[in-house]
Structure 1
């Protein structure tokens, strides 16, 4: 049986160069000089009988054959790296989770201790991102994003649908003798009156074309922050009931109407890149989140 495998050193150089599209950066990653990487690529091209890169001024590009080979080689090396990581991280490791503030504060912070008790060998690092930030898709093992679609090639799981309805402090409601009709909400200050969810909910409640332009703009951009303002009696907030269960159960907030609405395209998603599909720590975290949501009747 003939061995058609080129030298591993040449394959490693090609894999790194195809990811960086730079012999210099590939050399820095592999601890080689740019000339050494170029030499390994040339050996590989001679072995294969076709060109892998087009050399241009200060840059390189993959040829058609090179791109086809790179896709498979990079995937293979990724699987190898993941295999070694899973073995070495079996008894120790770190899971980096980038999560939007609402999910991090109103969900993860109350439950994460249970995951850590079940998986004491996994250290979890939460990277919450605020109203003006974006999920750290490039530097996290797992991302929980709100109303922001994960990258197209990522594996995504819908975890919570973004339903919404007005909520407020019972103390604030009593300042007008209680909120009995949707119109009563307009007698009170609103938290984030520019949120498009307000118009959607009022239209569903029989008040189309509601004009909220006269309300002071108080954009918070995070349900966790908006809920805190509502609890403090500073206004009526439009929130997702699931994330306010504790505040409702303790009487800090009331949901005056059963009517909830949602935008079909908006949800919280748990996602991760394809290279993490076989990661032990990602799999355990994903399954734990799923079990928690099933226990709450959300899945």
Structure 2
């Protein structure tokens, strides 16, 4: 079949169906109805003169012809996608980065000047989010998240393990003999079990009462102001510890979670530069 006669829409529908294993998911990716994908695949079967799927529509089984055809199509569409992305990236100098709100304020923004110094022509647009990542549906270049994984979104760079421990201001530390016993425990609604989890890891009883804050950032500010002791991730108080605004008398213990940077498959030039900068900045 000559190139000009290739049924490209039908080939796209077939390739997406093979990749997802379901016409419904292929339809969602292509932004069309299930019926449209089904008609495209049936039309392709008629054009090629061979069946591509067998069995009921909710349990499609690829035929031998489908298995033979799919790798070549996938490679071709991947190549087209990458070539178009490279052309777009020549003029695209904006990076959309999604990150947890408190991590953005207390770790990312204070270090972002380093990336701008290396890439002065790239604008980084930050948004605060800690939810699931779907690069196919979200206009994002990089997402920074914390969790247990597994991470299946595309490119993954591990930044640092989530390590937590009690922190308090030097002023409060000098006023109390035992911070865990004599100072109010600070809590946040976003991590309500933080004290229980840490005390369990240390074989200590969890504190009773204390002060609760709506946002994590509020709680950390309260700890810095001497209002009590907070359980905090090390990365969120790293600068405060270095500057002497906070102390961590018991150190930090791994929580089992990891901070990661996620990016779509085949990221663009600016995205790769940002990921490289993140990898070099993770110990700072």
TM-score relative to the length of structure 2: 0.75
Partner SS state of residue 191, structure 1: strand
Name which of 241, 256, 260 aligns with 2:252: 260
Q: State how far apart, in whole Å, the 1-side matches of 2:199 and 2:271 are.
A: 38
The answer as to whether partners of 1:154 and 1:271 remain within 8 angstroms in 2 is yes
Q: In the alignment, which residue of structure 2 is the partner of 1:199?
A: 199
CA change 1:143–1:23 in 2 (3 A) is: closer
1:187 lines up with 2:190 in the alignment: no
- Asked if 1:136 corresponds to 2:128, the answer is no
Q: What is the CA-CA distance between 1:185 and the residue it aligns to?
A: 2.1
Bigger mean CA deviation after superposition, 103-112 or 114-123: 114-123
Residue in structure 2 matched with residue 270 of structure 1 by the alignment: 261
Q: Using the alignment, how far apart are the partners of 2:181 and 2:25 within structure 1?
A: 63
Cα gap change, 1:239/1:289 in structure 2, threshold over 3 Å: closer, same or farther?
Answer: same
Q: Tell me, which stretches of 5 or more residues in structure 1 are unaligned?
A: none
The whole-number CA distance in structure 2 between the counterparts of 1:39 and 1:268 is 44
**CA–CA distance in structure 2, aligned partners of residues 145 and 121 of structure 1:** 26
- Which of 11-20 and 141-150 deviates more? 11-20
For 2:82 and 2:26, the matched residues in 1 are separated by 25
Asked if 1:7 is matched to 2:2, the reply is no
Deviation (angstroms), 1:152? 3.4
1:1-299 paired onto structure 2 within 5 Å: 7-9=6-8, 10-15=10-15, 21=23, 29=31, 40-46=40-46, 47=48, 49-52=50-53, 56=57, 62-65=60-63, 73-74=73-74, 76-129=76-129, 133-138=130-135, 139=138, 140-152=140-152, 154-176=154-176, 179=177, 183-192=178-187, 194-195=193-194, 196-200=196-200, 203=202, 208-212=203-207, 214-216=208-210, 218=212, 222=216, 224-257=217-250, 259-263=251-255, 265-273=256-264, 275-276=265-266, 278-293=267-282, 296=284
Alignment length (residue pairs): 270
1:283 offset after TM fit, Å? 1.2
**2:162–2:234 CA contact under 8 A, matched in 1:** no
- Shift of the 61–225 alpha-carbon distance from structure 1 to 2, 3 Å rule, reads farther
Q: Which runs of 5+ in 2 are unaligned?
A: none
Alignment RMSD (CA, Å): 3.8
8 Å CA contact retained: 2:173, 2:179: no
